[in-house]
Structure 1
Amino acid sequence: MARIALILVPLVAWEVCSRLGLINGFLFPAPSAILNKLWVQSGPNGNPPYAILWHVADSMLRLLSGLSLAVIIGTLLGVGLGMSQRARLVFQPIISILMPVPTLAWTPVLLLVMGIDNRTTILVVFLAAVFEMIYIVASGIEMLNVKMLWVAWSMGASRRQVFWRVIIPGIFPCLITGTRLGTGYAWRALIAAEMLAASSYGLGFMIYDASEYMNIGVIYGGVMMIAALGYLLENVLVGKIEAATIEKWGVLNER
């Protein structure tokens, strides 16, 4: 209840101030007017019809595509770095150099190479999450009890069996943590990239397009949807996976 109150109280104050004219109603329209605008745009009377649904669907498709690639490739590369000292010596400096570079800095280069396309935004999402996944998975491998590997190898386990039955379960908490952090980074990078690289739909494109026509209600509505969807993705979706796996297995430290 306290969390809900922390959100509702500012919204109610905003609504009252906007309706009483205490703040600029054009620059700060009432939340009820913003929600009504979103409701209209999400239905058959929107311009175009069901516009909000198309924007959300395109953003989610780009996010899940890029994030899935980042989780798969980041896990494989992270395991490789964690298992091989030679690979760490070669690639860790490169990752350390590239990791602090803001993902949006790559967008102009990607636009020149790939053009305004879904591939550009998906690649931006991938870059936003993959380095975090590599770093966290490699760190998880380094912390893995080496005796577990020795036991598996001494019992004749193949490399594939060791990977799927020892390494992946052993680093699963790191995978969940990396996915949670990567989702947050990827979501923010996607919205920014859509403002530059999306050709038609997407929440970032919707906000940028609305700013061209001074459609303030749609801009605020887009920001609210980005915040709500980001929370659901990072805390509810990943949290459900966490609760169904590592919390259930008792391998996650209590917060």
Structure 2
Amino acid sequence: ARERYGPQFAKSWITHASQLGTILYHRGQSSRQPRKFMPAYASHPLLPSAMWALVQRWLAARASQLRPSTVYHHEIALRRFLEHLGRVAPQVCRFEDVTREHVESFFRAMIDEPSAGSGVPLSLITRSNRTNSLALFFRDTVAWDWESAPQRQLVDCRDKPPHLERVPRFIPEEELARVMSGIRALVCPLQRAALLTLRWSGARRGEVRRLALDCLDRYPDGTARLRIPVGK
């Protein structure tokens, strides 16, 4: 157990210590300006310059249409693909030379190879998202006829691993009653209101955090209405 969870706790400690230093600096309780250290596990190998330049060009073209977090995950997926190419086909330096066999090798690697950060295999959702990022990249660059782009579409939606549909587990009545009793006992009215909103509206945590003070009003017929900001 120690070998499994040790690196994870070490990474969490680095993150929390950095966050604490940043908070203390901005509150005036520390004169030391926070610095961001790149841990060893986050170092990246060198990538073919022509291929990485095309990836950056595509990310910049899509940045105005996507959320920053989505662009970030697209970048990770494409970086992992290029890193895989560097291991199995180091002679490939341009997307023009990428074949379907290279893509299939990447799909197999995502199943068998453990994650560099946690040491466990990638989840089904992560594999599906990275496959989707590859498909979008190849689709756009082929359609836009960019120089050094792949010659044809190498990935499509059929390559995504099938999702397992699970029925959500409901909260038994006696457990829900204990939760509601704890919520009503909260002293802070904002915490109490936030948890009650989660309970009765089904909104996500981030959506409740973004609620405005005037988010509760009524329809013309008098029915209560909660206006939740646009999210997923």
Fold shared per TM-score above 0.5 = no
Instruction: Give the alignment's TM-score, normalised by structure 1.
Output: 0.21
Larger radius of gyration: 2
TM-score by length of 2: 0.23
